[in-house]
Amino acid sequence: MHLDPANKKRFEAILNQKEELKETQETLKDAVKQLADELGVKPADITKILGLVEKERAKGGVIADERDILETAGELI
């Protein structure tokens, strides 16, 4: 494979985007940890809440479904 200058630039652009994404992910991880610390919960709990909200916003009914599952599990206790 031979790379002309235009393709080399495209590779560099992708590498730069990957680095920016990595930095953004680290910032997000720090924000989740900070919020978890402030609320006195685990970062995984914050991540789960965020995931549920994202799914709810995308298709709806997700939180109601989770609530039903938890109520059913509670009946078994």
pLDDT digits (tens, 9 = 90+) for 5-58: 999 999 999 999 999 999 999 999 999 999 999 999 999 999 999 999 999 999
- Report the alpha-carbon distance of residue 59 to residue 55 in Å, rounded: 6
- Report the alpha-carbon distance of residue 32 to residue 42 in Å, rounded: 9
Domain extent, residue 36, equals 5-75
User: How many domains does the chain divide into?
Assistant: 1
Using alpha carbons, select from 49, 77, 73 the residue that is nearest to residue 63. 49
Q: Is the pTM of this model over 0.85?
A: no
Q: How many CB atoms lie within 10 A of CB 72?
A: 9
**Tens digit of each residue's pLDDT (9 = 90 or more) over 45-67:** 999 999 999 999 999 999 999 99
